Each structure stands twice: as C-alpha cells, then as structure tokens.
Amino acid sequence: MKPGKTGLARIIAAGGYSLQGLKSAYRHEAAFRQECWLVAVLLPVALIWSPGLVETLLLIGSLMLIPIVELLNSALEAVVDRIGPEHHELSGRAKDMGSAAVLLTMLLMGLVWGLVLLDALCVG
C-alpha cells in the first residue's frame, strides 16, 4: 500500500476528491450537465408522483444510473484522450463502448419509468 491518510482523514479526503470530480464533470462535460438537469427535474416527480416505495426506488435508481454511467464514460474518454490525440481503433472502440453504456442506461431508465407509469395507469 502507498503511504497516505488513514481512517477518518482518508474518508474526508476521498469525499473531497469526489466533489472535485463532480465539479469537474459539470464544468467540462455538457452531457453530464444535461443529465444533472434531468435529475433535478425528474427526482421531485419520482418523489411526488410514485405510487409506492418500490416504484420510487426503481424510478430514482434508474434515473441516478445515468449520471453515474456518464461519469465513468467521461473518465474513460479523458484517459483515452490523455494517451494521445491520434486516431486509434482501440481508442475509438473504448469511447464507443462508453457511449453505448450511457445509451443503454438511458433506455433502461425510459423502460422503468414507462412501465411504472403504465402500471399506475392500469391499476390506479
């Protein structure tokens, strides 16, 4: 292990690094900003409208997965770009796969929200 902070000091430092990452993503990544606004709009909708606790968890969980996966995709893209600006098949593949992960997460969110809404309309 590398020397460094331990215990509570490590946890506090890790929290600071996480906040730095969120700020950096918001500042430099347009897609992340848009997804944050999506969360800001739909989170209250999930809390107010959802018919039950399980449905609320499904709505919020599927919604929060989008910025989480976007953060991972942005980190992957940053590392690939750090390696070099020239086009490489593997770099392109890595970026495309990261983008596909975001797309699948958005499709999952849409499916969850659609099914919860459909269930509420059919039962309610």
CB atoms within 10 A of CB 77: 16
Tell me, yes or no, if 89 is annotated catalytic.
no
Measured between alpha carbons, how far is 80 from 90 in angstroms, rounded to an integer? Answer: 9
Catalytic site residue from 55, 70, 77, 89: 70
Q: What are phi and psi of 110, to 5 degrees?
A: -60, -40
Q: Are 112 and 59 in contact (CB under 8 A)?
A: yes
Q: Are 35 and 78 in contact (CB under 8 A)?
A: no
What single-letter DSSP state applies at residue 80? H
Q: Catalytic positions, please?
A: 70
